[in-house]
Amino acid sequence: MKLLIGSDHGGFELKEDLKIFIQELGYEVKDYGTYDIQSCDYPDVAFQVAEDVAKGEGERGILVCGTGIGMSIAANKVKGIRASLCHDTFSARFAREHNDANILTLGGRVVGKGLAREIVRIWLEANFTGERHARRLNKIEEYEKNER
C-alpha cells in the first residue's frame, strides 16, 4: 500500500517519526512536506495530499498539524475524501471499519509518538466492514454529487 503523508510546522516532528514507523511496517510513503519547522499553511499540504488520494495516487493519506483539526477540515473539502481526526485507537479502528476513512489526521501537539504509532498501526490494519455502513457512505457520495 502506498501512503501519502504531510504536515505543517506543528506536526513536522510527529510526521517525521511516523514516516519511519510506516516504512518499518512495510508500506511505501510519499512525503508532501513540510520539510522543516518553519511556519507554513496547513491547507496547502492538506489539499495536495487529499487531491492525490482522491485521484488514486495513494491508497490512503495521513496528515498532521498541531491539533489535527485544521488538516481534517481542509482535507474534507476535497470530494471523495473522508478524513478522520483520531486521538485514540478506538476512533482509529472505527474510522476505517465504519467510515472507510481514507485520510487519518493527527495532532502533533496532542498525541505522543507512541500513541500516534499505535493509532496509525490500527488504522492501517483495519478494513471497511461495508454492510449498513456502505449505505451511509453512499448517501454522502450522493450529496457530494448534488451539492449546491
* Residues with a known catalytic role: 65, 98
What is d(CA 61, CA 67) in angstroms, rounded to the nearest whole number? 17
**At 126, phi and psi to the nearest 5?**
-75, 150
Return the H-helix or E-strand segment holding 128.
Answer: none
Choose among 57, 58, 44: nearest CA to 8.
44
Sheet holding 83-85, edge to edge: 28-31, 2-7, 60-65, 103-107, 83-85
